[in-house]
Structure 1
Amino acid sequence: MSQSRLRRAVVALTALPLLALGAGQAVAAPTPAPIPAASQVTAIEDEVARTLAASLADPALRERLRSATAAAPAGAELAPLAAGLSGPAARGLADATTRADLGIAAAKGLGADLGPLLRVQLADPSMRAALDAGAAPLVATAGTDEHARSVRAYDTAGRVRGLDAATLPTRPVYLVDIDTAKALTAGIAVLQRELGTRGIAPAAQAPTTAQAAGWWGTKITSIEVNDDEEPWFKGAAEMFSLVSGFGLDGKVRVDSVAMPYLQYDHTVYYPNQILVNWSNYKYNLADVVLMEDDGDTNYLALAQAVAAVLLTIADQGAYIPLVNAVLAALPSNWWTDDPDYVESWYTLARTSTGRLNGARANGWMTVEPYWVSAL
């Protein structure tokens, strides 16, 4: 979806009178114009791709990478590739990977102790035969801009090679990418912790007598996202939902729900996943915003931005849709060619059942009430 179309969709959705916010002000920065997380992550990945390409002039490293990606076609960790090897190429790759893992964790608002985040994979399985036959590979990044017309790749001499984004290359290409499943798990924990600190996602309380026997939930039985077909250089998406409503204390509540299985568009998934725990909500209605992490999501900034807006909304004794508020809180750089906002559903009720189309007509899910019994 183009930027203009996406913005028009947001304007149509945003109707609540909200206080002005500056999402960019939520993250402390040493300069008035901090570099967006997307730019930081892209620059780090690009530097690692260039370093990895140059290191593949070392036959031992090239063979180790070929074997590692064959054993793990979905992506092999980049950090162990240089382990145990000597020489400047191995040392340079090890140093660059260590710095990159720390830099990406910081850009995404994650802890420095998260461990290796970068991985590498072959862009397409059809390239394996040429690689095994000895063809010299290129190295690129699984970029965040799915509408790019060209992809920058590097050869073993460090030279830039432009690749057509719309056509699968005949030459083998390795893609440097983030382990988004690992980052998503850590990011959800950051989201929930930061929202809880600001009173947006209160800690679980002791169950009442009525809740002791169990609670009602809404279960997703199937879900699909419709989007433009992703180009060859894009990795699988990692998605999560922000479920919002009013908690039992009358304050706005947001629960983040990881949905790591929801990776590709035009694919129906059958997760049987609990989306809403209704015992945590005051009203029989809640809203859902579906997000995706293509590698550039800063979870700390997201939590701070969402909290800044939702804390201005008070319970007026009736259900108030909160999708608009969540959308208004998103940092402005998320409304670019790579939409971190995917879909939204208004007024999900405890009794909702069957197929629910999203407000953007970009996805649907089927749900059903589900009783969770106490043990």
Structure 2
Amino acid sequence: MKKLIFTPITVFALLVFLASCSQEENDIQVVPETKKEELKSEALVKDFIEIYKKESNRSIILNSLKGQDLPVALDAVMPEFEKNSAGTEALAGLKEYQKEIRSTQVAGEALQASEIWMLNKDKDFAYDEVLFAKAPETKDEEDMETVTVYNIKGEAVELNANERPDLPIIMIEDNGYEALKLRASAMNEMLAESNLNTVGSNLALRTASEDKKPIEVTRLTSINLKDDKEPWFLGSAEIYAVVSGTRNEKNEPQVQVIAMTYLDKSGITYRPNQIMVYWEDYSLQAVNIQLFEQDSRTSYKGLVTNISGEVTKLTSDLAKMPELTALGTIASAIISAMPDKWFTNDDDEVDYFYALKKQDYKDFGGAAGNATATFELDVIEHN
């Protein structure tokens, strides 16, 4: 067997080789996650621009966006894109994006839903004056100074994040109106699993027994917000309510999440006639209604886990409290569960209505002075 002989020259050559390998490794640039997201967003927007350039697609997009106040689900217009742009790279890119978004709905972690909306859609503009952007969802809105949008040529344009532009801009968003509907439903399912949401169970029992007693509810018949807490580049606000109270003599908590998808702009009085409370679900004839805006691009599961943890750990104490004290304690626990800083944005506190009784309230101001609402007691008779 031959012995390996290391001369000074071979040792030097080996050291040079190892050093060059080390240098090559050091030259490899790791792309930060935020940069990866920016590159993905840019590619998505440019694919959408190519789709938009085709007149038949453009007509569908603009007519859909101008025809309603709410965002348009991308799923609603994709069939037309597939007919008009079959076989194109742009369509393939858009379909891959849709596939990725749908995977979040199966996995149940982020629960995203893609939609498009348009800033300044009521203004007169030529089709090639429209700008395009992906709603920035991995950055803290308070720290943003500029927003990158793209013109019809695919060229980047920087806009002031703090000043609403007077330009038509089509935005693509994953965490808006459509996502809120999915998340509200999922959050209530999780609250039910934690035994914090039994909403509707009493009514179901009564229906099964053919009890024809009228159903007492409280409706939200009008509401106006001074500030919807949403910057221009994230579009309309996505407001949800957390309704809470006690459901039995032990003061066991009842918590329900209600999506208020119509409540998307400040300074406008909305008249939803939305049922907020089924009084059969509560033992005390008073509830809390706390309004928040879905600003966080984060885990709704984490929020429910926080709420469940904060409220559940009070269960033994709640049983010893007077009912009204327990009601206030539950509301405080829900506030404590809200994130200080998750991912990028917080779920903004919009306003609170504490200890609302089973009665009418006309033009009633919330505790924070941001919301003015009218609540009306209603009785629903059986057929």
TM-score, reference length from structure 1:
0.74
CA gap of 1:246–1:43, structure 2 versus 1, over 3 A, is farther
Q: Which residue does the alignment assign to 2:184?
A: 188
Q: Which residue does the alignment assign to 2:320?
A: 316
Return the offset for 1:269: 1.2
Matched pairs, number = 327
Return the offset for 1:217: 2.1
Q: Does structure 1 residue 215 correspond to structure 2 residue 215? A: yes
Greater Cα radius of gyration, structure 1 or 2: 2
CA contact (8 A) 1:51 1:93 kept: no
Q: Which residue does the alignment assign to 1:140?
A: 133
Output the CA distance in 1 between the equivalents of 2:235 and 2:173.
Answer: 8
CA contact (8 A) 1:248 1:280 kept: no
CA gap of 1:43–1:64, structure 2 versus 1, over 3 A, is farther
Task: Name the % identity.
Answer: 24
Return the offset for 1:163: 1.0
Please list the CA deviations of residues 217-263 of structure 1 after superposition, one character each: whole Å capped at 9, or x if unmatched.
22222111111685543322222211111113631111222222111
Output the CA distance in 2 between the equivalents of 1:335 and 1:217.
Answer: 37
Q: Between the two structures, name the one with larger relative contact order (CA 8 Å, sep ≥ 6).
A: 1
Matches within 5 A, 1:173-252: 173-178=169-174, 180-202=176-198, 204-205=201-202, 206-207=205-206, 212-227=212-227, 231-248=231-248, 250=250, 251-252=252-253
> Which residue of the other structure, out of 149, 156, 177, is the alignment partner of 1:153?
149
* Paired residue secondary structure (2:234): coil
Q: Which residue does the alignment assign to 1:367?
A: 375
CA contact (8 A) 1:241 1:259 kept: yes
CA gap of 1:270–1:124, structure 2 versus 1, over 3 A, is same
Q: Which residue does the alignment assign to 1:267?
A: 268
Output the CA distance in 2 between the equivalents of 1:360 and 1:184.
Answer: 23
Return the offset for 1:367: 1.6
Please list the CA deviations of residues 279-311 of structure 1 after superposition, one character each: whole Å capped at 9, or x if unmatched.
111112211111222473633222221111111
Q: Which residue does the alignment assign to 1:91?
A: 92
* Paired residue secondary structure (2:172): strand
Structure 1 spans left out of the alignment, 5+ residues: 1-39
CA gap of 1:49–1:278, structure 2 versus 1, over 3 A, is same
CA gap of 1:303–1:64, structure 2 versus 1, over 3 A, is farther
> Which residue of the other structure, out of 61, 69, 79, is the alignment partner of 1:69?
61
Q: Does structure 1 residue 344 correspond to structure 2 residue 352? A: yes
Return the offset for 1:181: 3.3
* Paired residue secondary structure (1:300): helix
Return the offset for 1:64: 4.8
Output the CA distance in 1 between the equivalents of 2:180 and 2:228.
Answer: 23
Q: Which residue does the alignment assign to 1:121?
A: 117
Please list the CA deviations of residues 106-127 of structure 1 after superposition, one character each: whole Å capped at 9, or x if unmatched.
58643xxx8xx21223322256
CA gap of 1:362–1:168, structure 2 versus 1, over 3 A, is closer
Q: Which residue does the alignment assign to 1:291?
A: 292
Return the offset for 1:207: 2.9
* Paired residue secondary structure (2:170): strand
- Letter in structure 1 aligned against 2:133: A
What root-mean-square deviation, in Å, do the aligned CA atoms of Structure 1 and Structure 2 show?
A: 3.5
Deviation larger for 300-309 or 203-212: 203-212
* Paired residue secondary structure (2:359): coil
Please list the CA deviations of residues 124-153 of structure 1 after superposition, one character each: whole Å capped at 9, or x if unmatched.
22565222xx34x54213346654432122
Please list the CA deviations of residues 151-204 of structure 1 after superposition, one character each: whole Å capped at 9, or x if unmatched.
122456765431123445566532112373332222222111110111101260
Return the offset for 1:339: 4.1
Deviation larger for 345-354 or 306-315: 345-354
Write out the 4+ residue segments of structure 1 that deviate beyond 6 Å after TM superposition.
42-45, 208-211
CA contact (8 A) 1:82 1:94 kept: no
Q: Which residue does the alignment assign to 1:163?
A: 159
* Larger proportion of helix: 2
